[in-house]
Amino acid sequence: MTKRTPLIAGNWKMNKGTTAEATVLITEVRDKAANVSGVEIAVCPPFTVLHALKSVLGDNSPIALGAQDVYWKSAGAYTGQVSAEMLSDAGVSFVLIGHSERRGRFGVAEPDFTEGVLKYFGETDASVNRKTVAALASDLKPIVCVGETLNERENGDTDGVIRAQVEGALDGIFTAQIAQIVFAYEPVWAIGTGKTCSSDEADRVCGIIRATVSDLYDAETGGAVRILYGGSMKPDNASELLVQPNIDGGLIGGASLKASDFVSIAVAAASLPS
Ligand code: PEP
């Protein structure tokens, strides 16, 4: 089987966004992870602290920086947007695309700001695809997030939703580019809720992502693509999830805000039997 290097990526979301607090957290992560090998580590802080964290980490740091979103145009009248070239220039190497907090499942003609409704940013499979193409063109590694809502799971639609999201994201992308892409399976009902998907089920759905990539390209490409699990991963459940054959790491929200928890998860990934 293809050997895949595990990746542990922290999604800080809209937290630790002042230079002072972001510097404290990245310094702790850097120091605690200094002797951890065999795993790639990335942190995705708010845009505004990327430059500051790049200067804390320096060039050639084993800790990579990621952004939480990207716009597909390179420049122009797009108020508030950040392009892939700008991220690359800021020293970013990964970018989250299509996180469930940005996807709008039901259209956004009338944005709904109710907590938890998931309609406010209106990301679609088509915009995820454009962003993925743009990120690849600037040598960024997209972490494409896919996942079903509780309603979709209860209706038995999980597998179809996941396949459609993977196919939509990869539209027009060539075989040789797939090695740069990471998928993250994040069941929406398990994000920030403390509810984890069972390790067997997480592995099964990650297997569907892999099979979809194999069907679209070939078995070698599907076998090589990295797939993370995300959704309330913590030090006490990380090993059980990370040991699964189709899971190659984690996308960590809440637990990435505490350096000791985040690095413990990275250590769990580094300690997997080879
Ligand atoms: C996330 O938002 O990507 C995530 C996985 O969050 P949490 O770990 O807090 O569930």
**What secondary structure, in 3-state letters, does 93-112 show?**
CEEEECCCCCECCCCCCCCC
In a domain, 2, yes or no: no
pLDDT value at 118 more than 60: no
Rounded Cα distance, 198 and 57, in Å: 35
- pLDDT-based confidence at residue 103 (cuts at 50, 70, 90): confident
| Residue 180 placed within a domain | yes
Burial grade of 27 (CB within 10 A; 0-12, 13-18, 19 or more): middle
Q: What is the DSSP string of 47-75?
A: GGGHHHHHHHH-TT-SEEEEES--BSSSS
51 belongs to the catalytic site: no
Tell me whether residue 210 is in a domain: yes
Report the residue among 16, 252, 265 best suited for mutation to probe ligand 1: largest number of ligand atoms under 8 A from its CB: 252
pLDDT top residue among 162 and 115 = 162
Domain that holds residue 243: 7-270
Instruction: Say if CB 152 and CB 193 are below 8 A apart.
Output: no
Nearest CA to ligand 1 atom 7: 253
CATH label of the domain that carries residue 140:
3.20.20.70
- Which pLDDT score is estimated for 137? 98
Predicted confidence at residue 193, as pLDDT, reads 82
Nearest-atom number in ligand 1 for the CA of 11 is 3
Residue to mutate (ligand 1; options 251, 261, 262, 264; most atoms within 8 A of CB): 251
What pLDDT is attached to residue 20? 98
Rounded to whole angstroms, how far apart are CA atoms 231 and 197?
8
Does 186 qualify as catalytic in the annotation? Answer: yes
- Considering the chain, what percentage of its residues have pLDDT values greater than 90? 85
- Could you tell me the CA-to-CA distances from 141 to 157, 206, 237 in Å, in that order? 29, 19, 27
Instruction: List residues near ligand 1 (CB under 6 A).
Output: 11, 186, 191-192, 230-233, 251-255
pTM of the predicted protein model = 0.95
Per the model's pLDDT, the better-predicted residue between 118 and 99 turns out to be 99
Residue 178 near residue 227 (C-beta atoms within 8 A): no
Q: Does 115 reside within a domain? A: yes
Q: Which of 99, 123, 148, 152 is catalytic?
A: 99
The answer to whether residue 1 sits within a structural domain is no
Cα–Cα distance, 259 to 47 (Å, whole number): 20
The label of the residue with tokens 């938890």 reads: 116
**Arithmetic mean of pLDDT, 232-260:** 97
Residue 12 covered by a domain: yes
More confident residue, 116 or 25: 25
Report whether pLDDT(162) > 80.
yes
Confidence of residue 9 (pLDDT cuts 50, 70, 90): very high
Residue 18 placed within a domain: yes
Q: What is the mean pLDDT of residues 202-231?
A: 98
Identity of the highest mean pLDDT range in 96-105, 108-117, 153-162 = 153-162
Residue type, 105: R
41-50, 172-181, 190-199, range with the lowest pLDDT: 190-199
The rounded mean pLDDT for the chain is 93
* pLDDT of res. 102: 87
Angle value at C-alpha 11, between 197 and 168, nearest 5 degrees: 70
**Which residues make Cβ contacts (< 8 Å) with residue 86, sequence separation at least 6?**
none
pLDDT of residue 107: 43
Res. 106 pLDDT band, cuts 50 70 90: very low
Q: Look at the chain and report how many structural domains it folds into.
A: 1
- pLDDT value at 158 more than 60: yes
- pLDDT per residue over 223-237, tens digit each? 999 999 999 999 999
- Per-residue burial over 31-67, b if 16 or more Cβ lie within 10 Å, else e, is ebbeebeebbbbbbbbbebbebbbebbeeeeebbbbb
222 in a domain, yes or no?
yes
